[in-house]
């Protein structure tokens, strides 16, 4: 069984949805998460704070240097993630389609290297 990362791609400049829209998205996400759990595909999911809360750590000449903010400037950022177990890419893409419907945002589906020991 492989693990796949479903990344929620969120526009950086977008305003937060209205409270009633956000409530519906949260309900849809909860249904999506319950579907994952019922199918045995659930590993982990969570939302992220905005990119301004990021700290980048890089090593230069043996010293760890920390920089506030995201590594790259962009019009979009990862707003959340979900890690799922799926037997193949087609199955993972189906979970990605369901996640896109629930979040109303684009979802990037990417496999982890190697298989997961069950």
Per-residue DSSP letter, 51: G
Confidence of residue 71 (pLDDT cuts 50, 70, 90): low
Confidence of residue 70 (pLDDT cuts 50, 70, 90): low
Which residue has better confidence, 52 or 83? Answer: 83
Instruction: State the average pLDDT over residues 51-63.
Output: 89
- Number of structural domains (the chain) is 1
Q: Which residue has the tokens 């990417």?
A: 110
Residue 43: strand, helix, or coil: strand
In a domain, 20, yes or no: yes
* Prediction pTM value: 0.85
Residues 77-89 have pLDDT tens digits of 899 999 999 999 9
Return d(Cα 102, Cα 12) in angstroms, integer: 19
In a domain, 117, yes or no: no
In a domain, 12, yes or no: yes
Residues 5-41 have pLDDT tens digits of 999 998 887 688 899 999 999 999 999 999 999 999 9
Q: What is the CATH number of the domain that holds 66?
A: 3.30.70.1060
The boundaries of the domain holding residue 73 are 2-111
């Amino acid at each position: 069984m492989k693990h796949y990362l479903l990344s929620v791609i969120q526009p950086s400049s977008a305003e937060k949805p209205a409270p009633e829209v956000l409530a519906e998205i949260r309900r849809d996400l909860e249904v999506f998460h319950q579907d994952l759990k019922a199918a045995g595909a659930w590993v982990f999911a969570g939302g992220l704070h905005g990119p301004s809360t990021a700290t980048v750590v890089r090593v230069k000449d043996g010293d760890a240097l920390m920089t506030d903010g995201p590594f790259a400037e962009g019009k979009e950022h990862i707003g959340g993630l979900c890690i799922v177990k799926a037997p193949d890419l087609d199955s993972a893409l189906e979970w990605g389609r369901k996640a896109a419907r629930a979040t109303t945002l684009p979802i990037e589906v990417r496999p982890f290297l190697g298989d997961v020991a069950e």
